[in-house]
Structure formats: structure tokens, C-alpha cells
Amino acid sequence: MRRSICLCEPGYAIAGESNTWKFVYTSSNDLPKGTSLVFDILSSNKPGEWQIPQVDPKTKNNLIWAAMGSSKPLFAKQIHGSAFASAKFEFILPSPLRAGEDFTIFMGSPNPSAKTNNQCQTYVQRRRSFKLIIDPKVKGQIVEPKIFHLDVKGNLLHNLKIIVPSFVSRNRRFDIVIRFEDIYGNLTSNAPKETLIQLSYENLRENLYWKLFIPETGFITLPNLYFNEPGIYRIQLKNLNTKELFFSPPIKCFAESNDSLFWGLLHGESEKFDSCENIESFLRQCRDEKSYQFISTSPFDSEQETSNDQWKHISTQVAEINEEERFITLLGFQWEGTPKEEGAREFIYTKDNKPLLRKKDIKHNSLKKIYKIYQPKDLISIPCFTMSGNYNFDFQDYHPDFERVVEIYNAWGCSECTEKEGNLFPIRKSPKKIDENEEGSLRRALNRNCRFGFVAGGLDDRGIYSSLYPSDQVQYSPGLTAIIATVQTREALLDALYRRHCYATTGERIVIDLQVAQNPMGSELNTEKRPGLFYNRHITGFAIGTDQIQKIELFRNGKLYTSFSPEMNHYEFVIDDTDPLASIVLGGGKEKPPFVYYYLRVIQKNGHVAWSSPIWVDYIEDKNAKKTKKK
């Protein structure tokens, strides 16, 4: 039995390449005049996807048209769908197409010398699909969709990405991974054959320089590196062919430490994959391409966004891909509560295979009900986008046992404070979209003695954010969350989140630390156990940037206490806050002592920022001192 043939010319594409593409369909059956052929390029308007062609015959560049035999070119009609729906183009046969004859679809320019053709997607994909749906308009005759496949390969070598641990200890061995990437971040081996890469770092003897070839896989793992002395290191790679230099994010080497720093995301979506429909691809992208060490899923709870089958599949993949000491996956979802009273938030389960709590379900239609059913050991509740005009959370009904961390930043803005108060990434509305709401300010909540650490979210185009992505709402870089824990296990990372041993950045792996009386960020201290805090709060910290550090700001009770302008890539500081504690504390509230809190904000020259989680000091009067006064 004769089969239809689907052929792509050329047979493969280079990511981001501009060309005229041919899709040749050879029919195995006779197709009558008037047959509808709908070509679905399986692409939408999102950045990085395959460019959508034009249908106007007057357009000489990036045009879609078809040809059959010696007939005149056939032009398509675009079938419009909703925003970000896959682009489809319909052709109507002007005459019968006989079995064995070709129907060829072109995307590009009719002029062979044209430079502006149709642009391929910017990410690598094996067997990239295009679909041809054929409807002969004959009653009872159904033709299966035809699929074209084309491989998309990496472009020319552009960048060397070095994946390193942020914390190491002296003489303790560790591995690094080097990714050879094109301009779009794809793995590639597309480089001149003579290309040689030289690896070095501080305190490495010149005769020990390593020289590396580019492997076919596009990446290489180098095991068993170590540093002999404490300090700050950056791995350097030099392309000996082009003389370009590439540096790793900073590595802090301690004389001795049990802590490690892990990077990942608790809330975010991929521009490349829909994390509901392609959860496995999404998780693997986070692990392999973005080099995250942990990730939480974050679909919205509505059935429109996440069906029961999708949630079941997400739960299965989270359980299967989780791998201790390599990549930790967490099962989470977003829940849209009542604005102001509950706000939008991310729930993260501590265990696998848990239910999706839908807002429309009467059992889960309020936070109070959810907090009654579950215990803090079961899930973490993270308020997100708290200063957004439409979905804000005012923290009047703050629950300290569940809400241990809060999202200070995501790609749609920062909720630290208002723009007038110095917000570096304000939530700025486009017409009829979202503006900042000061009721959700994290500083105001902290001043009322709400105690939470800081995490960051990424980009999101789902649920409450779906109308922002195609609009002119101000968009920033996706953020990152850093968690300081002893080991890379689910239990250890969740425990560190509960203890607020974490911080947020706007997307770069800036290494920071803040301690009060040698206690780490997230700590709660008091003068009953440490009477010396009445008179002096010994504050230490450091910042190690991926770029020059422009400013380090220490905030006390939501106001700038002191700042440094190091104008270098790393800086350590020591401060003694000797103001009498009684003169600076804020009111603690019912049955709570007065308090003071500190947090750090680090600003780089390239505009990226990091925020440490706060540290609190409670003012508890010295009973012995009172008795002495009475005598």
C-alpha cells in the first residue's frame, strides 16, 4: 500500500537561522478540488519560537505560499485563534491533486537572494514537528494529519557557561560542568576544529593550566577540583582561538564549613516549555540547561489551567525526577485567594502525590480551612506578588507557622516597598493592567512583626499573570532563590526554608551573607539569652558579585541604617550597632516583646540585586536589673 511522504528541505536547521523552508507532501491518495490543507507550524507569538510567516502576496519577505505542479502559487489564509494559540494557515486546492504528486509549502522569500527570510526557532529540538491537516470535504472520508520532522541544531559557539558550587571548603573536592553554548544558550559543538579552551583559576600554577577540546555533546564535567586556601575564586576559561575570556559565578571557599548554597526556583514558568503540558521537558530544562539544583512546580489550581490528568502527571514526574545530591523537585501549585485578605500564593508540599487544592472546592476555598486541614510539616505557603494592585495581600491575617517565606521579587516586579520609598523594581502598570498597592509592602509587614524570609520568583504567563505577558506591563529578569543547607535533599532544603536560611536575587548568582552575633539570616535572637544585645549588635556580612558591586545597604526596621560603595566584586563588612536597644525597637504587639530587625540589599553595577532574609532581635527586659534598681 502506497504511503504519503512528508519531506523537509533542508533536512535540518540551525537555531535562529533565517532561510526559505520547503515542506514537500507527496499524497498517497487522490485529493479532489476544494480540499482544505491546514498547515500548523506549532508556534505562537512567544519569543524564541518559530517565526510566524505573512500571508499577504505583496510581502516579499517571510511569506508563506504553496505550489503544485505548474500551477500558479497558492496563497494561504491564516486561521486566527486566541493569544499564543498555534499559528495555522489554510490552503484550498484549485484543482485535484493526484496520488504521487507533490504539494509543496514554502516559508521564506520567493527571491533566492533575499536576506530576510523566515527565522527558525532559537532553541535546539530533535524532530521538530509541523502538522498538515487534510480535509477533502468528502462525506465519510477522513485523512490522518501528516507530520513533517526537522532537527534544530545549535548555532555557532558564543559562550562558555561554567557551573560551579557557590560554597566549598578548603581541600574538599568538587566537580564543575562546562557548557559550550550558542548565542541562544543551546549546547553546541559548532566551532572551528582548531578551537582550544584553557582553564585556570586564582592560585593555580601556570604549568598546571588545563586545555580542553569542545566535545560533540556540547558539555564536559571536570571532577575533583579543590582549593588549598580559603578565599574567593572564579574559574576562568580562555578561548585560545578568539582570545575571549569567560568567568564562572563566584566561589566562596571556607576554611571549614558544613553549609552549601543551592540555587533554584519555587515559582516560575519556562518560555520554552509549558510546564503543564510538558512537565518532564520543563524539569529537565531546569536541571540541565538552567543548572538549577531545586525546582518547585507552580501550576494554577483552576481546572482551566490544570486538569486532573495534568496534575496527576505532574505529581508522577516530580516523584520520578527527584534525585538527592543532584536535583531536588518539589510538588507545588499556585492558589488565587481573595485579594487583600489572602492574595495569590504558592503552596509547596513536603511529600509526593498530594492533591491539588482547588479554590472552587468548598473544602479549600479559604486559607483558614486549608490551615485547619494541614499542618506546617505538610506544606509551606508562600505569599506572592503581594504589592500587585489586583491580587495584593495586606498581611493582616498573617500565619507565621505556614508563611515562613515570602516572594519579594518576580519578573513582574518587587514587593519590598513602594517606588517612592526606593523600590528598585516597581510594579508598573500598562493601561488597564496592574499597578503597585502599598498595602502589600513587605517592609510594612515586617514593621508589624510579621517574620518571614525572602525568596524570588521567575517569569510567569499563567493564571493571574496571563494578561501581563502580551501587554506592555513592565517586565524584569526572572529571579532566583538561594537556600543555605547542609545537604542537597528535599528534607534539608525544606527545613532551611522553614528556618528562613535563604535569600533572593534578580536572577544572577550573587553570594551574600548577613549575621548578627554570629547567627545566620532568618534567626530570631533575644536579650534574655544574649544580654549583650542590649548594648551592641555585632553585625557581619559579605557580598560577592557576578559583576562589580555598586552598593551594599543594611536596613534596620525598614530604614537605611548604613551603606557601603565598594566598587569591586567582593566586600566584607563588620558593624557594631551600639544604639541603646530600647531607643530603636518597634512595638511587638499582643504578648510579644518589642523588636528590631535587619536585612541586606546588594546592588550590582549591571543592575542585578540580592536581598538577604531578615534577622530579628527581641527586647526582653532584664529582670535582674529591675530588682537591682528596686533595692
pLDDT (tens digit per residue) in 116-156? 799 999 999 999 999 999 988 776 566 778 999 999 999 99
pLDDT of residue 16: 94
User: 272 near 48, Cβ under 8 Å?
Assistant: yes
**In whole angstroms, what is the distance from residue 455 CA to residue 332 CA?**
15
Nearest alpha-carbon partner for 332 in 366, 368, 356: 356
Does position 249 have pLDDT exceeding 80, yes or no? yes
Looking at domain 159-257, which of 2.60.40.1930, 1.20.1250.20, 3.30.70.100, 3.30.565.10 is its CATH number?
A: 2.60.40.1930
Residue range(s) occupied by CATH 2.60.40.10 in the chain: 508-631
**In whole angstroms, what is the distance from residue 89 CA to residue 42 CA?**
11
Confidence bin at 430 (pLDDT 50/70/90): low
Which residue's C-alpha cell is 500551477? 71
Average pLDDT value for the chain: 92
pLDDT of residue 139: 66
**In whole angstroms, what is the distance from residue 110 CA to residue 600 CA?**
58
Does position 519 have pLDDT exceeding 80, yes or no? yes
Mean pLDDT of the region 224-237 = 92
Does position 82 have pLDDT exceeding 70, yes or no? no
**56-66 pLDDT, tens digit each:** 988 888 999 99
**In whole angstroms, what is the distance from residue 504 CA to residue 589 CA?**
28
Confidence bin at 628 (pLDDT 50/70/90): very low
Residue range(s) occupied by CATH 2.60.40.1510 in the chain: 5-153
**576-601 pLDDT, tens digit each:** 999 999 999 998 667 789 999 999 99
Q: How many CB atoms neighbour CB 198 within 10 A? A: 14
Give percent of the chain with pLDDT exceeding 90: 80
Long-range contacts of residues 422-430, Cβ cutoff 8 Å, at least 24 apart: 424/603, 424/609, 425/476, 425/506, 425/609, 426/474, 427/385, 427/387, 427/388, 427/389, 427/474, 428/473, 428/474, 429/389, 429/473, 430/471, 430/472, 430/473, 430/474
Residue range(s) occupied by CATH 2.60.40.1930 in the chain: 159-257
**In whole angstroms, what is the distance from residue 85 CA to residue 114 CA?**
29
Confidence bin at 472 (pLDDT 50/70/90): confident
Confidence bin at 208 (pLDDT 50/70/90): low
For 543, the grid coordinates are 557580598
Q: Does domain 508-631 have CATH number 2.60.40.10?
A: yes
Does position 266 have pLDDT exceeding 70, yes or no? yes
User: 181 near 160, Cβ under 8 Å?
Assistant: yes
Confidence bin at 629 (pLDDT 50/70/90): very low
1 Cα distance to chain centroid: 50
Task: Output the CATH code of domain 5-153.
Answer: 2.60.40.1510
**In whole angstroms, what is the distance from residue 315 CA to residue 110 CA?**
48
The CA-to-CA distance between both ends of the chain, in Å, stands at 109
